[in-house]
Amino acid sequence: MRHIRIFDTTLRDGEQSPGVALSLQQKLEIAHGLARLNVDIIEAGFPVNGASEFECVSRIAAEVKGPVICALARTHKLDIERAAAALEKAEKKRIHVFTSASKVHLQYMLRKTPEEILEISDAMVRYARQFTDDVEFSAQDVMRADFDFVMKLYETAINAGATTINIPDTTGYGTPQEYGALIKRIYDEVVRGRDVHISAHCHDDLGMATANSLAAVENGATQIECTINGIGERAGNTALEEVVMALYVRRDHYKAHTQINTRELYRMSRMVERYTGMVVQPNKAIVGDNAFAHESGIHQDGVIKNKETYEIMNAELVGRQAAVLVLGKHSGRAAVKKALADLGYKLDDTQIGAIFARFREIVERKGPIETEELRALVESESVSTPH
Where does this chain bind Zn ion (CB under 5 A)? 13
- Tell which one of 37, 40, 95, 98 touches ligand KIV (CB under 6 A): 98
Min CB(92)–ligand KIV separation in Å:
20
Q: Are 304 and 338 in contact (CB under 8 A)?
A: yes
Min CB(15)–ligand KIV separation in Å:
11
SS (H, E, C) 305-326: HCHHHCCCCCHHHHCCCCCEEC
- Altogether, the residues listed in the chain come to a count of 387
User: Among Zn ion, ligand KIV, none, what does residue 227 contact (CB within 5–8 Å per kind)?
Assistant: none
Considering CB under 6 A, how many residues would be counted as binding ligand KIV? 9
40 is in an annotated binding site: no
38 is in an annotated binding site: no
13 is in an annotated binding site: yes
User: Among ligand KIV, Zn ion, none, what does residue 98 contact (CB within 5–8 Å per kind)?
Assistant: ligand KIV
Q: Based on CB atoms, which residue is closest to Zn ion, 13 or 204?
A: 13
User: Among ligand KIV, Zn ion, none, what does residue 121 contact (CB within 5–8 Å per kind)?
Assistant: none
Label residue 303 left, alpha or beta by phi (over 0 means left) and psi (-120 to 50 means alpha): alpha
C-alpha to C-alpha distance for 45 and 255, rounded to whole angstroms: 32
Q: Based on CB atoms, which residue is closest to Zn ion, 13 or 295?
A: 13
Give the residues across from 43 on adjacent strands. Answer: 70
Interstrand relation of 256-257 and 5-8 (parallel, antiparallel or unpaired): unpaired
Q: Based on CB atoms, which residue is closest to ligand KIV, 43 or 295?
A: 43
C-alpha to C-alpha distance for 133 and 163, rounded to whole angstroms: 8
User: Among Zn ion, ligand KIV, none, what does residue 138 contact (CB within 5–8 Å per kind)?
Assistant: ligand KIV
Min CB(171)–ligand KIV separation in Å:
8
User: Among ligand KIV, Zn ion, none, what does residue 8 contact (CB within 5–8 Å per kind)?
Assistant: none
C-alpha to C-alpha distance for 318 and 38, rounded to whole angstroms: 14
C-alpha to C-alpha distance for 127 and 129, rounded to whole angstroms: 5
Q: Based on CB atoms, which residue is closest to ligand KIV, 82 or 201?
A: 201
Q: Based on CB atoms, which residue is closest to ligand KIV, 141 or 295?
A: 141
Q: Based on CB atoms, which residue is closest to Zn ion, 72 or 125?
A: 72
- Tell which one of 105, 152, 201, 284 touches ligand KIV (CB under 6 A): 201
Dihedral sign (CA 334, 340, 341, 346): negative
Helix (H, G, I), strand (E, B) or coil at 237: strand
Query: Binding to ligand KIV (CB under 6 A): which residues in 111-170?
Result: 138, 140, 166, 168, 170
- Tell which one of 13, 53, 134, 241 touches ligand KIV (CB under 6 A): 13
**CA-closest candidate to residue 367, choices 334, 329, 330, 340:** 329
C-alpha to C-alpha distance for 255 and 190, rounded to whole angstroms: 23
76 is in an annotated binding site: no
Which amino acid does the sequence have at 143? M
**CA-closest candidate to residue 319, choices 32, 3, 33:** 33
**CA-closest candidate to residue 97, choices 190, 187, 30, 160:** 160
Q: Based on CB atoms, which residue is closest to Zn ion, 13 or 79?
A: 13
Give the footprint of ligand KIV on this chain (CB under 6 A).
Answer: 13, 98, 138, 140, 166, 168, 170, 201, 203
Binding residue numbers for Mn(2+): 13, 201, 203, 237
